[in-house]
Amino acid sequence: MLRIVGDWLRTQVKKAPDREQLPPLVSADGVVDSRLCGLVDSVQSGWFLQNSGELLKGFPVTAADVVLDVGCGEGGATMFVARCGAHVIFSDTDADKVAQLSKKVASSPARSWQALVCNTSPLPLADGCASRIIATEMLEHVDDPAQVLAELVRVGQPGALYLLTVPDPVGESLQQQLAPASHFEKPNHIHVFERSAFAGMVIDAGLLIERRDAYSFYWSMWMSLYWACGIEQDGATLDQIKAPYPPLLNEWAKTWHQLISMPEGFKVKAVLDSFMPKSQIIIARKPI
């Protein structure tokens, strides 16, 4: 169950909005979908900016780019850059996810693509092959994050841009007080990165940091309420990750959607995102 929880939450950042496939955000009976509310929240935080071709504000992708997405999961980032027409390389240790994503990429506008089922260290790729490297919510799962970062630096060309995210220590501290201990054991989160340590690790890998940020109070609270709902009832495990969600989570999604839909709601969101974010972000560049 905890693996399901960790994987599901990790993939939320990896799911780009696809208006042709997503159900309505608000159902006919007024229920707000938790995942779709999270995607709206992400867009307001600067993710998936289709008009400007930025996966995240400050991380532009063009058709001329070769983009590597490691730990691609369900492939939101991969599909975004594919729709930008880039050559995309995506990797994951989950063969089923890579196979499913391959089918989607094959029918996308990507100029070419390569699917890899592999561990990130090492990668079966040539030195300096990618101009954009994406590693979202995966470094906290690996045994040696510094080694993985070194491998990502190896495959980046001079001047390559990196988008790196890991859970924020504030949000993780909250989860450590609420979640079962196994949530912070393999194969879940085995590293908690303090902000200065995360930045130091990126710098030690030889990258120049261009932007640091944090976001998603929404998901920090969602997971806290998830644990409050309980993962067992009458001795039976509840799979609360798949809709329909417990009423408490539906109410939270509805409340947050109402807030971020208000003209001044973004101000409150920005304050809360900085207060207790789920994730921290670094955009960095490999020196030329």
Mean of the per-residue pLDDT values for the chain?
Answer: 89
- What are the pLDDT digits (tens) for 23-73? 578 777 788 999 999 999 999 999 999 999 999 999 999 999 999 999 999
Most confident residue range from 183-187, 198-202, 242-246: 198-202
- What are the pLDDT digits (tens) for 208-236? 999 999 999 999 999 999 988 875 544 44
Inter-residue contact 90 to 116 (CB < 8 Å)? yes
Rounded to an integer, the average pLDDT of 105-121 is 95
- What are the pLDDT digits (tens) for 262-281? 999 999 999 999 999 999 99
Helix (H, G, I), strand (E, B), or coil: what is residue 210?
Answer: strand
Rounded to an integer, the average pLDDT of 7-32 is 59
Q: What is the DSSP letter of 128?
A: T
Inter-residue contact 226 to 252 (CB < 8 Å)? no
* pTM of the complete model: 0.89
Give the total residue count for the chain.
288
Q: How far apart are CA 139 and CA 147, in angstroms?
A: 10
pLDDT (0 to 100) of residue 188: 87
Q: Count CB-CB contacts under 10 A for residue 108.
A: 17
Q: How far apart are CA 136 and CA 78, in angstroms?
A: 11
pLDDT (0 to 100) of residue 15: 52
* Across 87-91, 178-182, 261-265, least confident range: 178-182
Q: Which tops the pLDDT comparison, 169 or 229?
A: 169
Residue 19 pLDDT greater than 80, yes or no: no
- Phi and psi at 186, nearest 5°, equal -55, 140
Residues above pLDDT 90, as percent of the chain: 76
- Phi and psi at 285, nearest 5°, equal -130, 140
pLDDT (0 to 100) of residue 216: 96
Nearest C-alpha neighbor of 286 from the set 212, 198, 209, 213 = 209
Instruction: Return the domain boundaries, the chain.
Output: 2-285
CATH of 2-285, picked from 3.40.50.150, 3.90.1150.10, 3.20.20.70, 3.40.50.1000, is: 3.40.50.150
Rounded to an integer, the average pLDDT of 91-99 is 95
Q: How far apart are CA 97 and CA 91, in angstroms?
A: 9
